[in-house]
Amino acid sequence: MSRYILALDQGTTSSRAILFDRSGNIIQMAQQEFTQHYPQPGWVEHNPNELFDSQAVVAAKCLRQAGVTGSEVAAVGIANQRETTVVWNRRTGAPVYNAIVWQDRRTAGFCDSLREQGKACLFAEKTGLVLDAYFSGTKVRWVLENVPGAREQAEAGDLLFGTVDSWLIWNFTKGAVHATDPSNASRTLMFNIHTGDWDDELLELLSVPRSMLPEVVPSSGIMGHMHPEFLGHSLPLAGDAGDQQAATYGNACMLPGMAKNTYGTGCFLLMNTGTEARRSENNLLTTVGWNCGYGLRYALEGSVFIAGAVVQWLRDGLQIISDAAEIEPLASTVRDNGGVFFVPAFAGLGAPYWDQYARGAIVGLTRGVTRGHIARAAIEAIALQTLDIMDCMKKDSGLPLSTLRVDGGASRNNMLMQCQANVLGVPVERPMITETTALGAAYLAGLAVGFWDSEEEVSALWKLDRRFEPAMDEERRAELLHNWHRAVGRAANWIE
How close are the terminal C-alpha atoms of the chain, in Å?
62
Residue 261 CA to residue 411 CA, distance in Å, equals 9
The upper half-sphere exposure of residue 473, i.e. CA atoms within 13 Å in the direction of its Cβ, equals: 2
Is residue 269 within 8 Å of 386, Cβ to Cβ? Answer: yes
275 a known binding residue?
A: no
Residue 365 CA to residue 374 CA, distance in Å, equals 9
Tell how strand 73-80 and strand 235-242 pair up: parallel
Packed helices 48-66 and 164-172: angle between N→C axes, nearest 10 degrees: 60
Residues in the chain: 496
Residues 6+ apart with CB under 8 A from 149: none
4 a known binding residue?
A: no
Going from the C-alpha of 405 to that of each of 247, 293, 427, the distances in angstroms are 10, 25, 9
171 a known binding residue?
A: no
Say which DSSP state 470 is in: P
232 a known binding residue?
A: no
13 a known binding residue?
A: yes
Specify the amino acid at residue 183: S
Is residue 111 packed enough to be buried (19+ CB in 10 Å), middle (13-18) or exposed (0-12)? buried
286 a known binding residue?
A: no
Is residue 440 within 8 Å of 405, Cβ to Cβ? Answer: no
308 a known binding residue?
A: yes
Going from the C-alpha of 333 to that of each of 151, 178, 329, 330, 376, the distances in angstroms are 56, 52, 7, 5, 9
396 a known binding residue?
A: no
370 a known binding residue?
A: no
Which residue, among 308, 355, 361, has the nearest Cα to 493 in the 3D structure? Answer: 355
How far, rounded to the nearest angstrom, does the alpha carbon of residue 337 sit from its chain's CA centroid? 29
92 a known binding residue?
A: no
The upper half-sphere exposure of residue 100, i.e. CA atoms within 13 Å in the direction of its Cβ, equals: 29
Is residue 245 within 8 Å of 81, Cβ to Cβ? Answer: no
Which residue, among 218, 208, 168, has the nearest Cα to 188 in the 3D structure? Answer: 208
Residue 295 CA to residue 147 CA, distance in Å, equals 38
Residue 18 CA to residue 28 CA, distance in Å, equals 6
Q: Would you call 1 helix, strand, or coil by DSSP?
A: coil
244 a known binding residue?
A: yes
Residue 165 CA to residue 109 CA, distance in Å, equals 27
12 a known binding residue?
A: yes
Which residue, among 244, 241, 470, 286, has the nearest Cα to 393 in the 3D structure? Answer: 286
Residue 396 CA to residue 427 CA, distance in Å, equals 21
> Which residues in 2-114 belong to E strands, given as ranges?
4-10, 14-20, 26-33, 45-46, 73-80, 85-89, 99-100
| Binding site listing for glycerol | 82-83, 134, 243-244
| Binding site listing for sn-glycerol 3-phosphate | 12, 82-83, 134, 243
| Binding site listing for ADP | 12, 16, 265, 308, 409, 413
| Binding site listing for ATP | 12-14, 265, 308, 312, 409
| Binding site listing | 12-14, 16, 82-83, 134, 243-244, 265, 308, 312, 409, 413
